[in-house]
Copies of this chain bind each other. A is one copy, B any other.
Amino acid sequence: MSSENQCSSVLIVGSIALDSIKTPLGEVNDALGGAAVYSSVAASFFAPVMVVGVVGDDFPREHLQFLESRGIDIRGVKVERGKSFRWGGSYEYDLNHAHTIFTELNVFANFKPVIPDVYRDCKFVFLANIDPELQLEVLNQVKSPTLTACDTMNFWIENKRDALLEVLKRVDVAFMNDAEARQLIGTGSLVKAAMQVREMGPKYVVIKKGEHGAVMFCNGICFAAPSYPLEEVVDPTGAGDSFAGGFMGYLAGTGDVSESSIRKAVICGSTMASYNVEGFSLERLKTLTGREVSERYKAFREMVRFEEM
């Protein structure tokens, strides 16, 4: 890792999906979703984005057009014959937990990430939540990234532990939610879990805690960000992905990977996640402006401000 302090692009690899979601405030069917989509759109507020993924030939053209309208390079999105990846989920009283109703992998089942030549020099790489074996394939294809990051989920912790540990050895930043960190390490103490994940490789471990905000651990440092106090969460889907996208986008956009910049990246992540949950699917991010992003960032500063004793 080195700090270059000039704007770079972010390469994002992950799922592109059609989501059917039900929350206490409504529902949508076959709406734009997927970790790579949420994180790419969030990152695009800060830096150029290149996305790698796969969709079926049923994938609405308007969704790809929307990504392009955000300046996202979609040359890495393969369109294959067959149906797009679909996920159905619902949220009840506790919006921190999604109940999966169905998962239809479809064309995503045989996804092999091929990083286009023009993407391989990319300095910032985000491996969204996919099979850690595929994440390793991506790491093998990029040339000399400044900063790499991965996300994961309980399924891979249980079923692909060795590959995941290999990924953790090789990335600079690991995103995890609190339950995943506890599960990976096998301890009730989140602090202990985060510190032990760090010992597995990543310089920075960022624990996402939903409505309780996020905590970043690096060498002897703990940085805590609250969540933005929303009266209503319309749809929590993609909050973690938007967080990671905002985080990576901010770092790529500034080219600065100092600790001070990482702290700001956590707040940019929190900002994007907080806007994302205000609407179903990508609805809110579609209308979001750069000015609103700055305003909420400032609101975060005001929320945690206090003077010396």
A309 to B80, CA, bound (A): 40
Closest to A299 in B: B222
Chain A 236-271, CB-CB to B under 8 Å as 1, else 0, gives 000000000000001000000000100110111000
Q: Majority SS of interface residues in chain A?
A: mixed
A304 to B266, CA, bound (A): 11
Contacting pair A191 B307 (CB below 8 A): no
Which residues does chain B contribute within 8 Å of A94, judged by CB atoms?
188
Contacting pair B188 A303 (CB below 8 A): no
Contacts known (A191-B230, A209-B212, A229-B222); A263 close to B306, Cβ less than 8 A: yes
Interface residues on A, range: 35 or more
Contact pick for A95, options B188, B215, B231, CB 8 Å: B188
For residue A192, CB closer than 8 A to chain B, the reply is: yes
Contact pick for A263, options B260, B297, B305, CB 8 Å: B305
Give A contacts to B, CB under 8 Å: 24, 93-95, 188-192, 195, 209, 211-213, 215, 217, 222-226, 229-233, 250, 260, 263-264, 266-268, 294, 297-298, 301, 303-309
